[in-house]
A and B are shown apart, each in its own frame.
Chain A
Amino acid sequence: MLSALLAMSGIAIALGAVLGFAAIKFRVEGNPLVDKIDAVLPQTQCGQCGFPGCKPYATAIAEGEADINKCPPGGEEGIQKLANLLGVDFKPFGGESIPKPKAVALIDESNCIGCTLCIQACPVDAIVGAAKQMHTIIAAECTGCELCVPPCPVDCITMQAIEESAANWKWKYPVYALTASK
C-alpha cells in the first residue's frame, strides 16, 4: 500500500517537474492565435474596425471582444478566412461596414502646403515630404486606408479607385449560355 502510494506520488512529482520545466522552457511569448488572425487581415491599418490597426483588431478577435465581420477592406473572403480559422460561422457585413473598391490616395501637389499632417497620419509611411515642402504618396505602398484624408487642412488628398488595366487584369469566372445561340 505504502509503496504504491510512494510510487504514484513519485510519478506525479516527476511529471509535475517536467511540465513545470516545459512551461518555462517552451514558453510562447504573446498569443499565437493573434498572429494567425493578423496574417489573414489585409493590413490596411485603416481603423474601420474601431481598433487602431490590424494587430489590435486581431488581438480583440482572439480575446472574443470583436466580431469577425468588422473589416471592410478584407471583403467577404476575409470574413470567410477568419471563420475558417476560428471555426465559427460566416457572418455577413452589417451596418456601415461595406467594402469599397480598392483605392490609393492622391495628393493634389499644386495645392499641398507642406503641413506634414498627412505624413503623421499615414500608418505605413507611404507619404514623402517635409515641412513647407510639397508631399507626395508612394502609390505602391499606399494601403488605401484614407487616414490621411481628414487631417489635410486644404483638402488636397483624394482617393483614386484602382482601375482595371492590362497589368492587373484577371481572367473572369466563365459564364456561358445554357442554350446554344441560333
Chain B
Amino acid sequence: MRKLHQFHGGIHPPTNKAQSNQTPIVQANLPSKLTIPLHQHVGNSAVPAVEIGQHVLKGQLIGCAEGNLSSSVHASTSGMIAAIDKQLVANSSGLPELCITLIPDGRDEWIELDPCLDWLECTHSELRLKLRKAGVVGLGGAVFPSDMKLHASQQKIKTLVLNGAECEPYITCDDLLMRERAAEILEGAQIMRALLSTEEILIGIEDNKPEAISAMRAAVLEGKYQGIEVIAVPTVYPGGGAKQLIRVLTGIEVAAGVRSTNLGVQCFNVGTAYSTWRAIRFGEPLISRIVTVTGNVSHPQNFEVLIGTPMDELVAHAAPLNGTRYYIMGGPMMGVPMPSMQVGVIKATNCIIAASKEIFPPAQPALPCIRCTRCADACPAELQPQELYWFAKAKNFDKAEDYHLFDCIECGACSYVCPSNIPLVQYYRFAKSEIWAQEANQKAADTARERHEFRESRIEREKREKAEKLAAKEKAASAAKTQRTEQPPTLVKTDVNPEDTLQLKIQTAIDHAKEQAAAIKPLNTEQLTPAQQAQIDEIEAQRARIREMALAPVADHTKG
C-alpha cells in the first residue's frame, strides 16, 4: 500500500454527484446546428480553414492551428458551413468570439481517417504531430495543447500522474468515463508514457468513486500493464488540482514558479488520455466529449456530446425543470455562468449545471472582513487569502504579487468558508488580470521607447551622413578648382553646416552645368553632305526669321 501525503487546507462541500452518476453515458442526438468556437484552447486562436457554404465531413479540419501554442478545430459532424462570425461563446468574459456555424446534414458521414494499428512503430514526433492535428487538448479544464506537454524535457520525467480525482461537486464525467472506458484510458496513458519515457503511472481517483476505482483496477489487471497503479485518494476539495494531486500521490510539493516537470512529474486528465488513444489509434480528432448535465433537470446524467452543440439543446435531453435562470459551465466552485443558454459546448465543457434559485440562492450580502483567517486555514496553496483580499481591494498589486497571488488556483475554498460571504476569488481574478494588463502595457511602452530611440538615432545618423557627404564633395570640388587655377582655395570649411554650404553647392552646380554646356557639341553635325548642310542653313535662317518676328511689336497685328 502506497503511503499517501496530504496537502494543506481543503474543504468538504456536499458532493452532489449521486444525481448524475447512476445511469450510463448516453449519446446525445445530433443538434439542429453546431456553433464551434475557433479559440477553445490555451494559446493562439485557430484560423478558419473553410468557407461559408462549403460542405464538410465529420472530422474535417475547419480551423488550422496558428503558431506553436495553438490547436486545430474540426467539424463535429458532416454538414454545411452556414456562417463564420463572432458569436457568444462559453467564456467568462461574455464577449463574442469567432465561431464556425455548422448545419448538420444528418448523415454524420466521416472523413477518411488515418488510423494507426501499431503506434509503437511511429516515431515520437509523428505521434505528437498526430495529436496536434487531432486538436487534442487537456480536458480537465485547462485546455492546454497536449502535444506541447508530451515533450520529453531535459529533466527526466519519472512519474506520469493521471488525474481522475474529479474533486469538484456535481461533476461526474470522468467518473463515468473511467467506469465505461477504462481500457482505452490505459492505452492512452501507455502512449503518454512512451512519449515522456516515464517509468510509473499513478492514477489518482477520489475514494467517493469506488466503481471507477474498481473498473480501472480491473482494466490494469486485464491488460497486464506494468507500472500502473490506481490509487484511491481521500475526498477533499480541491484534491483534483494538479499540484494538490501530485502532492498527495508523490509527496512532491511544487513550489511557487516551478513547473512539476522540473520535479519529474507530468499530469494529465483521464479524459485527455482517452482522447489521445482515439486520436492515435483511430485517427479521430477531438470532436466530442463527455459532459455532465445536472442541476435543475429531472434526469441528470452524462452525455457524449459533439463539440459545438448548443447547451440548451443538450440540456433538453435531461428533461429540464422550470425555474432555470442560467447555466453554469463547470462546477459550483470554479464554474462560470454562461452569457447565453445557446452557447456551444467546447472542449473545456465538463459539466453544465442548470442553475435555479433553489440550487444556487443569490449570494448573501458581503460583510466586512473580520480577519478570522478561516480562509488561510482552507487555502490549499498555503497562501494568506485575507491579505491578498486587502491588497486586491486596495489595488495594491505589487504587494499582492509579493504575497504570491499567482500561486492562487482560484479553487474558491476561501470564499466557501468565509463567514462574511466575501467573493474573494473575484478579487484575486481582478487583481491577476490587472497585473497582466499592466505587464502588457509596460511591454508595449518598452517597445515604443526602443523604436522611438532607434528612430531618433537614425535621423541623427542620416543628418550626419548627409553633412559628411556634402563636405567630401565640396572638398573635392575645391581641390579641383585649386588644380585648375593653381591658386589656394579661398573657402574650405571643416565643420560644414548644411545651411552654409547650400549656396556654395548651388554655385558649384551652376558652374558645372556651364562648363558642360560649353564642352558639349552636337555629335551628328560632323561630316555632313552639302545637301544636309544646305538644309541646316535653311532651318537656321527660318529660326532667325521667327526670332525676329517674335521680337517685333505686335500692336498692329491686334488692331488689324
Contacts and interface: CB of A to CB of B under 8 A. Distances in A.
A171 B451 contact: no
B434 interface: yes
Given A166-B97, A178-B365, A180-B364, A171 B432 contact: yes
B426 A174 contact: yes
Interface stretch (B88-96, B306-314, B341-349): B88-96
B321 to A, nearest CB: 21
Contacts of B366: 176, 178
B492 interface: no
A166 B452 contact: no
Interface stretch (A38-46, A62-70, A92-100, A108-116): A38-46
A76 B295 CA distance: 45
B96 A180 contact: no
B120 interface: no
A31 interface: no
Nearest to B367: A178
Given A169-B93, A176-B363, A141 B451 contact: yes
B448 interface: yes
Interface string B178-209: 00000000000000000000000000000000
Describe B's contact surface by its main secondary structure: helix
B451 A174 contact: no
A166 B451 contact: no
B26 interface: no
Given A42-B445, A43-B452, A126-B451, A166 B96 contact: yes
A124 B449 CA distance: 8
Interface in B424-474: 426-427, 429-430, 432-434, 436-437, 441, 444-449, 451-452, 454-455
B362 interface: yes
Given A170-B434, A174-B426, A124 B448 contact: yes
Contacts of A171: 92, 426, 429-430, 432-433
B452 A141 contact: no
Interface in A48-99: 53-54
B455 A166 contact: no
B365 A179 contact: yes
A176 B365 contact: yes
A43 B455 contact: no
Contacts of B426: 171, 174
Interface of B: 39, 89, 91-93, 95-97, 362-366, 423, 426-427, 429-430, 432-434, 436-437, 441, 444-449, 451-452, 454-455
B111 to A, nearest CB: 29
Contacts of A1: none
Contacts of A143: 444, 448
Given A125-B451, A166-B39, A170-B434, A180 B365 contact: yes
22 contacts: A43-B445, A43-B446, A141-B448, A143-B448, A165-B95, A166-B96, A170-B433, A170-B436, A171-B92, A171-B426, A171-B429, A171-B430, A172-B430, A174-B426, A174-B427, A176-B363, A176-B423, A177-B363, A179-B365, A180-B362, A180-B363, A180-B364
A164 interface: yes
Contacts, number: 76
Contacts of B446: 43
Contacts of B430: 170-174
Nearest to B438: A77
A172 B137 CA distance: 28
A163 B426 CA distance: 23
Interface residues of A, number: 30
Contacts of B447: 141
A74 to B, nearest CB: 10
A176 B368 CA distance: 13
Name the 3 nearest CB pairs between A and B, nearest first.
A169-B93, A43-B448, A174-B426
A125 B365 CA distance: 52
B452 A123 contact: yes
Contacts of A165: 95
Nearest to B447: A141
B455 A123 contact: yes
Contact of B451 (A124, A168, A169): A124
B67 to A, nearest CB: 14
A181 interface: yes
Contacts of B452: 43, 45, 53-54, 123-124
A54 B93 contact: no
Nearest to A122: B455
Nearest to A182: B362
A171 B426 CA distance: 8
B473 to A, nearest CB: 24
Interface string A133-176: 00000000101000000000000000000001110111111101
Contacts of B89: 166
Contacts of B93: 166, 169
Contacts of A54: 449, 452
Contacts of A43: 444-446, 448-449, 452
A101 to B, nearest CB: 14
B282 to A, nearest CB: 33
B445 A125 contact: no
Contacts of B451: 124-126, 141
Contacts of B427: 174
Nearest to B431: A171
A171 B256 CA distance: 23
A125 B95 contact: no
A7 B303 CA distance: 94
Given A165-B95, A166-B93, 14 more contacts: A38-B449, A43-B449, A53-B452, A143-B444, A143-B448, A169-B93, A169-B95, A170-B433, A171-B433, A172-B430, A174-B423, A177-B363, A179-B365, A181-B362
